[in-house]
């Protein structure tokens, strides 16, 4: 085997551990068991994982559980903090509150009232949990779709605060019910290239009737119909940029297709907190001529 092949196989085994942890957060995750999942010696696994992930196994498990708890606090308002604490593996709300504030900068109650998402948006040393994204793009016809839109304008780090506002509006009326209407995101700018203050992203819910007047800043727009290349992204949306980049850098030049004058957009099929982070499913669309 070449060094590159060995490195790929080594990284793949550690990535399997990341995926296993994210799939079994409710279980006891001992070093002995996780080293067996990776197929590494239990005497060296801890150092191998830390070298790969940049943090220890215990830190990764703790931060992953706390990140899931943040979504539960923000998007499941009727769920008790004590239940979220127990779900995150803490024996008491006090221990949960201390750890959450250490990681997030806010107590769970403060975060629930007014979440500051910047801490989770920044790199905390959490490798992303992904599944196979083989870039099997296909060309489809996307039907014109009317959508209710909350226009996010500003740093990507504050996008989740806008998402929370949109969800709150969605729950308050029947214009675009989340249970029966599709959810989209329209990406106007590359978050890595745009200045934070210039970043634009539309949070969209499918409309099945006219949009009622509202005080939430929700406007009506149309995602135009036409030919699109679509690729499915499986796993954390924190890593969706990799799928978008692959479509632009690999699929598009090889396809001979030309892009239409409309931004890339996402269809969120399965999304946190309804599913675990690694179970998320998102279709990425590139509009074509």
pLDDT digits (tens, 9 = 90+) for 123-154: 455 666 555 455 678 999 999 999 999 999 99
Q: Are residues 109 and 166 in the same domain?
A: no
pTM of the model: 0.79
Tally of domains within the chain: 2
Same domain, 169 and 92: no
Last residue of a domain, one of 116, 147, 179: 116
Residue span of the structural domain in which 254 resides: 138-287
Reported confidence tier of residue 39, pLDDT bands at 50, 70, 90: confident
| CATH code: domain of residue 22 | 1.10.10.60
Picking from 116, 151, 169, the residue at the C-terminal end of a domain is 116
- Give mean pLDDT, residues 38-65: 88
pLDDT score of 239 more than 90 = no
Asked if 104 and 35 sit in the same domain, the reply is yes
Higher-confidence residue of 136 and 64: namely: 64
Q: Are residues 11 and 90 in the same domain?
A: yes
Lookup result for tokens 């634009």: 200
Task: Give a yes or no: residue 132 inside a domain.
Answer: no
Q: Is residue 154 part of a domain?
A: yes
Q: Are residues 108 and 160 in the same domain?
A: no
Q: Does the pLDDT of residue 121 top 70, yes or no?
A: no
Residue 128, in any domain of the structure: no
- Residue 145 makes CB contacts below 8 A (sequence gap 6+) with 182, 184, 206, 222, 223, 225
Alpha carbon separation from 16 to 25, 74, 125, 134, 255 (Å, rounded)? 14, 29, 17, 16, 32
Q: Are residues 16 and 92 in the same domain?
A: yes
171 shares its domain with 250? yes
Residue 11 banded pLDDT, cuts 50, 70, 90: confident
Are residues 62 and 170 located together in one domain of the fold? no
Q: Domain containing 172 — which CATH number?
A: 3.20.80.10
- The answer to whether residue 283 is domain-embedded is yes
């Amino acid at each position: 085997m070449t060094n590159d092949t060995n490195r790929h196989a080594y990284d793949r085994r550690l990535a399997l551990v990341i995926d296993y942890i994210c799939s079994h957060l409710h279980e006891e995750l001992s070093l002995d068991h996780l080293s067996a999942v990776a197929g590494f010696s239990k005497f060296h696994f801890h150092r191998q994982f830390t070298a790969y992930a940049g943090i220890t196994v215990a830190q990764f498990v703790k931060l992953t559980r706390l990140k899931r708890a943040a979504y539960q606090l923000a998007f499941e308002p009727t769920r008790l903090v004590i239940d979220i604490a127990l779900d995150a593996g803490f024996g008491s709300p006090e221990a949960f509150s201390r750890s959450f504030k250490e990681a997030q900068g806010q107590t769970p109650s403060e975060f629930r009232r007014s979440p500051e998402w910047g801490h989770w948006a920044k790199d905390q040393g959490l490798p992303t949990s992904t599944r196979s994204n083989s870039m099997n793009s296909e060309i489809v016809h996307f039907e014109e779709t009317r959508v209710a839109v909350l226009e996010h304008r500003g740093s990507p780090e504050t996008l989740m605060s806008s998402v929370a506002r949109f969800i709150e509006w969605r729950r308050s009326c029947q214009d675009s019910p989340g249970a029966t209407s599709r959810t989209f995101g329209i990406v106007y700018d590359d978050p890595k290239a745009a200045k934070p203050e210039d970043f634009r992203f539309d949070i969209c819910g499918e409309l099945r009737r006219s949009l009622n007047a509202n005080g939430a800043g929700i406007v009506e727009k149309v995602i135009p119909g036409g030919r699109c290349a679509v690729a499915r992204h499986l796993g954390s949306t924190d890593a969706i940029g990799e799928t978008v980049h692959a479509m632009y850098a690999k699929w598009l030049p090889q396809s001979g297709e030309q892009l239409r004058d409309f931004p890339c957009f996402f269809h969120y099929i399965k999304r946190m907190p309804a599913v675990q982070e690694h179970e998320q499913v998102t279709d990425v669309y590139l509009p074509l001529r």
